[in-house]
Amino acid sequence: MTTAETPEHAVDLTIEDGIATVTLDRPDRLNAYNPTMRTQLIEAFDRTDADDSVRVVVVTGRGRAFCAGADLSQGASTFNSDTADERGPRWQHGVIEGVPRDGGGTVSLRIARSLKPVIAAVNGPAVGIGATLQLPMDIRIAAASARFGFVFARRGLVPEAASSWFLPRVVGISTAMEWVATGRLIDAQEALAGGLVSRVVPDEDLLPTAYAIAREIADNTSPVAVAASRQMLWQMLGESSPWEAHRVDSQAIHHLGAGADVAEGVRAFLDKRSPSFPMTVSRDYPDFVPAWPATPKDVVEQAP
């Protein structure tokens, strides 16, 4: 994923047998997040969405950490966008409310828009952006050695990457506020008890467990049904009434119920065999399921 514009390597993408693996790949810096990682993560999810052979995305870190947070090599000015002019890397993320968009937020919102389910395999420390980056992922599995930290207040910051929206919805407001206000490190068992992860496994079982879940999705489910379901479930977290879910559900059942994947799914069940779904996301994704999250009209995607 190296280009002329971003020669530094920060993210590795591999695709094998329907499963894409996105690996944060700066092990010498404990996979610390930097602008190159931001760019290459967005590129990776653009590629997985565009590739109909990809059914599931697994995200993990290379080496001893998932992601140890932002790269602080710029010292005290690391988060100060006023030290960069409008051609600088922070401004290239785009503009919102007249200020440069939070780079972590551009990545988490891109992950949220994914048409493929995303599994986080957390293989060690996941601090700052390393913790918030996982929140729009669908399934989070932790190695026993994993540690999480929403440490922003200890650095004088607020949570980023749209995590003030995601975190309370994932773990509840009380747990979210405790973790954010203290900024302390959370071990894997506390993350499990709080609902941040769905399971904790021995370190050596982390990737096999993630790939087993991915394999079950890839081998047994309709790609169009999973893509639409993912968008519907996330979108409904922000709706005020179950009537909005009923509205979209009814359209989906009506249109997909007459489609080739449902016919194949029923036949496969009756024949007691594995299904072979013919529909693809690029060709058959239903246009009545709105893209989520929609980009507000006042957001400038790229600064001039």
The pLDDT tens digits of the residues spanning 212-268 come to 999 999 999 999 999 999 999 999 999 999 999 999 999 999 999 999 999 999 999
pLDDT in tens, 27-67: 999 999 998 999 999 999 999 999 999 999 999 999 999 99
Domain-wise residue ranges, the chain: 11-217, 222-284
Whether the link from the prior residue into 293 is cis, omega within 30° of 0, is yes
Q: Where are the beta strands (DSSP E) in the chain?
A: 11-16, 19-24, 56-61, 95-96, 99-100, 118-122, 125-127, 139-143, 147-149, 185-187, 199-201
| Element (DSSP H or E) covering residue 68 | none
User: pTM for the complete prediction?
Assistant: 0.91
**Domain 222-284 has what CATH class?**
mainly alpha
Asked whether the domain spanning 222-284 has the same topology as the one spanning 11-217, the reply is: no
For the record, the structure tokens of 282 come out as 């690029």
- Report whether CATH 3.90.226.10 matches the domain 11-217: yes
